[in-house]
Amino acid sequence: MKTHKINFEPLGLSGRCRTNESLLACAHRFGVGIISLCGGKGNCHSCQVQVLTGTVSEPTPHELEVFSSQQLKEGWRLACQTYPASDCTLSLPPNSLTTLQRVQVEGQEVAVSPEPTVTAYQVKLSTPSLADPQADADRLLESLNRQHRLRCNHIDFSALRKLPPQLRSWNWQCRASVRADEVITLGPWPSRQLGLAIDLGTSKISGYLIDLGSGQTLAAKGITNPQASYGADIISRISYAMKSPGKGARLQKVVVEALNQLAIDLCAEASAEVEEIVDTVAVGNTAMHHLLAGLPVGQLALAPFVPAVSRALNIKAGNLGLHIAPGAYLHLLPNIAGFVGADHTAVLLATADTESKGMMIAIDIGTNTEVSLIDSGKIVTTSCASGPAFEGWHIKDGMPAASGAIERLRIVNDNIQYQTIDGKPAIGICGSGILDAMAQLYLAGVLDKGGRMARNHPRVRSENKHLEFVLVSEEERDGRRAIVITQQDVRELQLAKAAIRTGIQVLLETQGHREEKIQKVIIAGAFGTYIDVANAIAIGMLPSLPLDRFQQVGNAAGTGARLALISLSKRGEAQKIVSGVRYIELASVPSFNKTFIQASYLGRYRLRQGKREEID
Amino acid sequence: MKTHKINFEPLGLSGRCRTNESLLACAHRFGVGIISLCGGKGNCHSCQVQVLTGTVSEPTPHELEVFSSQQLKEGWRLACQTYPASDCTLSLPPNSLTTLQRVQVEGQEVAVSPEPTVTAYQVKLSTPSLADPQADADRLLESLNRQHRLRCNHIDFSALRKLPPQLRSWNWQCRASVRADEVITLGPWPSRQLGLAIDLGTSKISGYLIDLGSGQTLAAKGITNPQASYGADIISRISYAMKSPGKGARLQKVVVEALNQLAIDLCAEASAEVEEIVDTVAVGNTAMHHLLAGLPVGQLALAPFVPAVSRALNIKAGNLGLHIAPGAYLHLLPNIAGFVGADHTAVLLATADTESKGMMIAIDIGTNTEVSLIDSGKIVTTSCASGPAFEGWHIKDGMPAASGAIERLRIVNDNIQYQTIDGKPAIGICGSGILDAMAQLYLAGVLDKGGRMARNHPRVRSENKHLEFVLVSEEERDGRRAIVITQQDVRELQLAKAAIRTGIQVLLETQGHREEKIQKVIIAGAFGTYIDVANAIAIGMLPSLPLDRFQQVGNAAGTGARLALISLSKRGEAQKIVSGVRYIELASVPSFNKTFIQASYLGRYRLRQGKREEID
State the CATH number of the domain containing residue B146.
3.10.20.880
Structure ipTM: 0.82
| Cα B174 to Cα A211: distance, rounded to the nearest angstrom | 44
Q: Is the pLDDT of residue B330 over 70?
A: yes
* Main-chain dihedrals φ then ψ at residue A365, nearest 5 degrees: -85, 130
Query: Measured between alpha carbons, how far is A455 from A447 in angstroms, rounded to an integer?
Result: 10
User: How many angstroms separate the first and last alpha carbons of chain A?
Assistant: 51
Cis peptide before B94 (omega within 30 of 0): no
Contact A460, A468 (CB under 8 A): yes
- Averages of pLDDT over runs of 10 residues in chain A (616 residues) are 86 83 88 80 86 94 92 93 94 73 51 88 95 94 97 94 95 96 93 94 91 90 88 87 92 97 95 96 96 95 93 95 96 96 95 80 91 93 88 87 88 88 89 94 96 94 93 92 95 95 96 94 86 94 94 88 95 94 90 95 94 88
| Residue A455 and residue A597 in one domain | no
Residue A103 lies in a domain: no
**Exposed (0-12), middle (13-18) or buried (19+): which is B465, by Cβ within 10 Å?**
exposed
Decide if pLDDT at B47 tops 70: yes
Pairing of strands A378-384, A369-375: antiparallel
User: Is B125 contained in some domain?
Assistant: yes
**A35 near B CB under 8 A:** no
Whether residue B103 is predicted with pLDDT greater than 60 in this model: the reply is no
Q: What distance in Å separates the CA atoms of residue A344 and residue A336, rounded to the nearest whole number?
A: 8
- Does residue B476 sit within a domain? yes
- Write out residues 573-592 of A within 8 Å (CB-CB) of B: 583, 585, 587-588
Report chain A residues whose CB lies below 8 A from the CB of B130.
303-305, 585, 587-588
* Nearest CA distance, B289 vs chain A (angstrom): 13
In a domain, A218, yes or no: yes
Partner-chain contact B304 A129, CB within 8 Å: yes
- B395 with B486, same domain: the answer is yes
Whether A365 and A513 map to the same domain: the answer is yes
Q: Does residue B101 carry a pLDDT above 60?
A: no
Same domain, A205 and A322: yes
Residue A105 lies in a domain: no
Chain A interface disruption, residue of B125, B132, B134, B138, most A CBs within 10 A:
B138
Specify the length of chain B in residues: 616
Q: How confident is the model at residue B104 (pLDDT cuts 50, 70, 90)?
A: very low
pLDDT for residue A211: 93
> What's the pLDDT at B107?
47
Of the candidates B118, B157, B529, B270, the residue with the CA atom closest to the CA atom of residue A329: B157
Residues B485, B415 share a domain: yes
Cα A466 to Cα B420: distance, rounded to the nearest angstrom: 100
Among A551, A204, A496, which residue's Cα sits nearest to residue A363?
A: A551
CA B325 – CA A128 distance, rounded (Å): 39
- In this structure, is residue B393 part of a structural domain? yes
Hey, is the C-beta of A155 within 8 angstroms of any chain B C-beta?
yes
Asked whether residue B355 carries a pLDDT value surpassing 90, the answer given is no
**Of B158, B187, B216, which residue constitutes the final position of a domain?**
B187
Whether B335 has its CB under 8 Å from any CB of chain A: the answer is yes
Q: CB contact, 8 Å: B301 with chain A?
A: no
Chain B hits for A166, Cβ within 8 Å: none
CB-CB neighbours of A62 under 10 Å: 17
Asked if the structure places residue B199 within a domain, the reply is no
User: What is the amino acid identity at position A165?
Assistant: P
Same domain, B71 and B157: no
If asked whether residues A255 and A145 sit together in one domain, one would say no
Q: Tell me the C-alpha distance between A380 and A581, whole Å.
A: 6
Q: How many domains does chain A have?
A: 5
Task: Please state whether the predicted TM-score (pTM) of the whole model is above 0.90.
Answer: no
Same domain, residue pair A483 and A543: no
User: Same domain, yes or no, for A432 and A549?
Assistant: no
CATH number of the domain that A288 lies in? Answer: 3.30.420.480
Note whether B47 and B132 are same-domain residues: no
Bridge-based pairing of strands B550-554 and B518-524 is: parallel
- Asked, for residue A338, whether it belongs to a domain, the answer is no
Residues B408 and B438 in one domain: yes
Q: Looking at the complex, does the CB of residue A301 fall below 8 Å from at least one CB of chain B?
A: no
Give strand ranges (E) for A168-272: 173-179, 182-187, 194-200, 204-211, 217-224
Q: Label each residue of B309-347 as H, E or C.
A: CCCCEEEEHHHHCCCCCCCCEEEECCCCECCECHHHHHH
d(CA B357, CA B521): 14
Report, as an integer, the average pLDDT of B153-182. 95
Last residue of a domain, one of A97, A131, A166: A97
Q: Are residues B75 and B135 in the same domain?
A: no
What is the C-alpha separation between B148 and B140, in angstroms, rounded?
A: 12
Using a CB-CB cut-off of 8 Å, the residues of chain A touching B137 are 308-311
B138 touches chain A (CB under 8 A): yes
Chain B nearest C-alpha distance from A331 (Å): 13
The whole-number pLDDT of residue A202 equals: 87
Average pLDDT score over chain B: 91
CATH of residue B72? 3.10.20.30
Q: Which residues of B touch A160 (CB under 8 A)?
A: 295, 308-309
**Between chains, do B585 and A305 touch, taking CB under 8 Å as contact?**
no
- Closest residue in B to A315 (Cα–Cα): B157
Would you call B135 and A335 a contact, using CB atoms and an 8 Å cutoff? yes
Q: Which domain holds residue A464?
A: 389-493
Out of A493, A515, A531, a domain closes at: A493
Is the Cβ of B307 closer than 8 Å to some Cβ of chain A?
Answer: yes
Give tens-digit pLDDT for B500-509: 999 999 999 9
Q: Would the CB atoms of A295 and B160 count as touching at under 8 Å?
A: yes
Instruction: Tell me which chain B residue has its CA closest to the CA of residue A154.
Output: B313
Residues in chain A: 616
A165-197: pLDDT as tens digits: 999 999 999 999 999 999 999 999 888 899 999
Which of B28-42, B141-155, B376-390, B566-580 shows the lowest mean pLDDT across its residues?
A: B28-42
Is pLDDT of B594 > 70?
yes
In total, the C-beta contacts within 8 angstroms joining chain A to chain B are 138
CA angle B323, B324, B325 (to 5 degrees): 130
